[in-house]
Amino acid sequence: MADCGKFAGTRAARPLAKVRSSLSGDRIAYLVTLLFAVSIIILTVLVLYKLVSASELSRAKFGWSFAFTQTWNPVTGQFGALPFVYGTVVTSVVALVIAGPLGLGCAIFLSELAPLRLSSALTFVVELLAAVPSVIYGLLALFALVPLLRDPVEPWLKDWFGFLPCFQGPAYGVGYLAAGLVLAIMVVPFITSVSRESLLAVPREQHEAALALGATRWEATWNVVLPYARSGIAGSVFLALARALAETMAVTMVIGNDPKISASLFAPGYTIAAVIANEFTEAITNLHVSALIELGLVLFVITVIMNGLGQLLMLATSRTGSIHT
Amino acid sequence: MSRLARRNVIGRAMFALTGLSMFVTVSSLFFILGYLIWHGFRSINFAFFTQLPKPPGELGGGMANAIAGSAELILIATLIGAPVGFFAGVYLSEFGGRKFSFVVRYVTDLLNGVPSIVVGIFAYSLVVVPLGHFSIFAGGFALSVIFIPIAVRTTEQFLQGVPQSFREAALALGAPKWKAIATVVVPAAFGALATGMLLALARVAGETAPLLFTSFSNQFWNLSPNEPAASLPVMIFTYAISPYKDWHRQAWAAGLVLLALVLFINISARLLLPRRAPR
């Protein structure tokens, strides 16, 4: 019986040991994955910390006037961000004015009109557009879009809409308009795919109820489906805006790189991201580097706010609350 | 015209407009492809893949060093980004509690939204300044910062796509949680996970802005991670804005190679992935 008892003891002991070791295995797996998850938070905080600490020189010297002065002169050590903020905002607004309706149109076509197979094929094409690297957009814009703007498009706009201050002055080709157009093409895929998803999330009954009440197909789409999805659509616009504000390469290649504020869209300008790309490696004085990093900080804060707003609006529509870009 | 007829005409016109906007968008992709192929194929030659860049003014030469540099940058970015993204994704999908997961997810989306030029500044002040010089490693690190959030979200989504019954079956057979994840859940999603990583790779392959002041550029061969090196996107940028005709030609060739790589990965990922999978 003693033998049996011993046996029983080992039988009892072995699963127990196994349970203990597997518990610690789970514990280890949990801690390892947690460590990596936490490292992402640390990384993000570190980005912000580096931007704040490395721009200290410029922040101490210029204070808030940094955002409101126009002179950008590395030789005399005067740095004001206004022309860059202006250029960034103007190019992004041009982009959204064009890409907003275009992207929404595509989204409506894909979700309401196109048959399923065509819709999924076209959605794939739109996704491919989003995958094209920005330097390729810049390359094409520089050699295809800019000459086109310089010769027929901008003079034509001047002839017909020259009374508007934004269509006056010499046609350079490079400038706000060129940058805005490239940005528009680049953000259309984002507006399209996010808006399409929120349109598809609208319950079918809403659409059918409108039709049953005698609305035409378009009226049902425009008056019922679209308002239902409006926060998702607005969210897509904010996400696109964040993209446009942050875009560097394509804009740098066609903006003209002139730190001036001009009312005309034909005039060359500058954006925050473009000036960092162009001047960072050539900056000699610490103050210049610091001012460029402060511009980076400004850009970071603006895009975080836009992304945050976009995601909050998306959260309002989608229950999963996750956005894949 | 009766009222109803007018309403119908308006509806048709508006739907036609949506079709037109779709046409404009899709044709812009085909324009990009067509224009790039047209110029790229006239410019590309054998020397492009085998020779070093020539000094300005001299004809010929190639971008062999930039192709190698890009490959090394992508390799480093993947070596850092894939494990971090994978494990953090596993945490979100399998271990995370509600509140902390929300925070991690939110911060990941935030990191995904950080402008690429700002990522460049970050890598510059974190790696380049302490080391005292530009290097491939700094560039690879910058790219990994872009790689990580994409890898996290795709990993999480694809793991979430594995049916709950798989986990329950493994646990019911007595496997501890980690073993269920390692031998059942991850293998079930392995193809999708690998494709997600490839998509992240395709995304960083075209990034230019973070490389401008991290891996910088180089006229010569360099494979040492501790030295600056040329890369395809940076070469496209510098050659395109240069005043030399022959450099423009090479920028087209480089653009064609880069776009072919990126589109090839994206299209094959799409064909490999099961239908209705998240991007």
The mean per-residue pLDDT over the stretch B193-215 comes to 92
- Reading phi first (left if > 0) and then psi (alpha if -120 to 50, else beta), residue A256 is in left
pLDDT tens for B156-202 read 999 999 999 999 999 999 998 889 999 999 999 998 999 999 999 99
Q: Among partner residues A105, A300, A321, which is closest to B115 by beta-carbon distance?
A: A300
Residue A115 φ/ψ, nearest 5 degrees: -65, 160
- Here the ipTM equals 0.91
Residue of A nearest to B255 (CA): A136
- SS3 call for B114: coil
The answer to whether residue B246 scores a pLDDT higher than 60 is yes
What pLDDT is attached to residue A325?
A: 36
How far apart are the C-alpha atoms of B204 and B220, rounded to whole Å?
Answer: 23
What pLDDT is attached to residue A4?
A: 40
The mean per-residue pLDDT over the stretch A294-309 comes to 92
The mean per-residue pLDDT over the stretch A119-146 comes to 93
**Domain layout of chain B by residue ranges:** 3-31, 48-272
What pLDDT is attached to residue A6?
A: 36
What pLDDT is attached to residue B274?
A: 60
User: Contact B111/A47, CB-based, under 8 Å?
Assistant: yes
Helix ranges, chain A (H): 2-54, 56-62, 82-108, 116-131, 134-140, 146-148, 154-161, 176-200, 204-212, 217-220, 226-228, 230-246, 249-254, 272-279, 286-317
**Which 8-state DSSP code applies to residue B208?**
-
Cα A131 to Cα A315, B114, B263, distances in angstroms: 25, 17, 7
How far apart are the C-alpha atoms of B111 and B161, rounded to whole Å?
Answer: 24
**C-alpha distance from B72 to closest chain A C-alpha (Å):** 18
Share of chain B above pLDDT 90, in %: 67
Which B residues, 142 through 201, put their C-beta within 8 Å of a C-beta on chain A?
A: 145, 148-149, 152-154, 157, 176-179, 181-182
B61 forms bridges with which residues in the sheet?
B53
- SS3 call for A316: helix
The answer to whether residue B55 scores a pLDDT higher than 70 is yes
Q: Which segment of A119-128, A189-198, B29-38, B215-224 scores lowest on mean pLDDT? A: B215-224
pLDDT tens for A240-251 read 999 999 999 999
Residue A79 φ/ψ, nearest 5 degrees: -130, 115
Give yes or no for A135 touching B (CB within 8 A).
yes
Structure tokens at B19: 């079709």
In B, which residues are within 8 Å of A131 by CB distance? 202-203, 262-263, 266
**Which 8-state DSSP code applies to residue A265?**
T
How far apart are the C-alpha atoms of B266 and B272, rounded to whole Å?
Answer: 10
Average pLDDT, chain B: 90
Reported in sequence order, the residue ranges of B64-104 that DSSP labels E, i.e. its strands, are none
In B, which residues are within 8 Å of A104 by CB distance? 21
What pLDDT is attached to residue A49?
A: 95
Report the candidate in A281, A322, A121 with the shortest Cα–Cα distance to residue B160.
A322
Predicted confidence band of residue A131 (pLDDT cuts 50, 70, 90):
very high
How far apart are the C-alpha atoms of B84 and B200, rounded to whole Å?
Answer: 13
Which are the contacts of A55, defined by CB distance < 8 A and separation ≥ 6? A290, A291, A293, A294, A296, A297
How far apart are the C-alpha atoms of B112 and B212, rounded to whole Å?
Answer: 19
User: Contact B87/A37, CB-based, under 8 Å?
Assistant: yes
- Reading phi first (left if > 0) and then psi (alpha if -120 to 50, else beta), residue A132 is in beta
Which A residues, 175 through 234, put their C-beta within 8 Å of a C-beta on chain B?
A: 185, 188-189, 192, 216-219, 222
What pLDDT is attached to residue B278?
A: 43
Give yes or no for A124 touching B (CB within 8 A).
yes
In B, which residues are within 8 Å of A137 by CB distance? 32
What homologous superfamily is domain A62-317 in, according to CATH?
A: MetI-like (1.10.3720.10)
Predicted confidence band of residue B59 (pLDDT cuts 50, 70, 90):
confident
| Structural contact between residues A177 and A94, judged by C-beta atoms closer than 8 angstroms | yes
What pLDDT is attached to residue B279?
A: 39
Q: Give the angle subtended at the CA of A280 by the CAs of A279 and A281, to the nearest 5°.
A: 100
Predicted confidence band of residue A13 (pLDDT cuts 50, 70, 90):
very low
What pLDDT is attached to residue B72?
A: 94
What pLDDT is attached to residue A19?
A: 55
| Structural contact between residues B137 and B127, judged by C-beta atoms closer than 8 angstroms | yes
Cα A128 to Cα A184, A261, B29, B139, B203, distances in angstroms: 16, 35, 8, 25, 11
pLDDT tens for B93-146 read 998 878 899 899 989 999 999 999 999 999 999 999 999 999 999 999 999 999
The answer to whether residue B67 scores a pLDDT higher than 50 is yes
Residue A153 φ/ψ, nearest 5 degrees: -75, -55
How far apart are the C-alpha atoms of B237 and A139, rounded to whole Å?
Answer: 8
CATH fold of B48-272 reads MetI-like fold (1.10.3720)
Helix ranges, B162-231 (H): 164-172, 177-180, 186-188, 190-205
User: Contact B178/A29, CB-based, under 8 Å?
Assistant: yes
What pLDDT is attached to residue A11?
A: 44
Which are the contacts of B78, defined by CB distance < 8 A and separation ≥ 6? B144, B147, B197, B201
Q: Among partner residues B20, B106, B237, which is closest to A135 by beta-carbon distance?
A: B237
Share of chain A above pLDDT 90, in %: 56
User: Contact A253/B22, CB-based, under 8 Å?
Assistant: no
Q: Among partner residues A29, A113, A218, which is closest to B19 by beta-carbon distance?
A: A113
What pLDDT is attached to residue A223?
A: 92
| Structural contact between residues B80 and B141, judged by C-beta atoms closer than 8 angstroms | yes
Predicted confidence band of residue B87 (pLDDT cuts 50, 70, 90):
very high
In B, which residues are within 8 Å of A126 by CB distance? 25-26
Which B residues, 40 through 79, put their C-beta within 8 Å of a C-beta on chain A?
A: none
What pLDDT is attached to residue A319?
A: 47
Q: Which segment of A61-70, A134-143, A295-304 scores lowest on mean pLDDT? A: A61-70
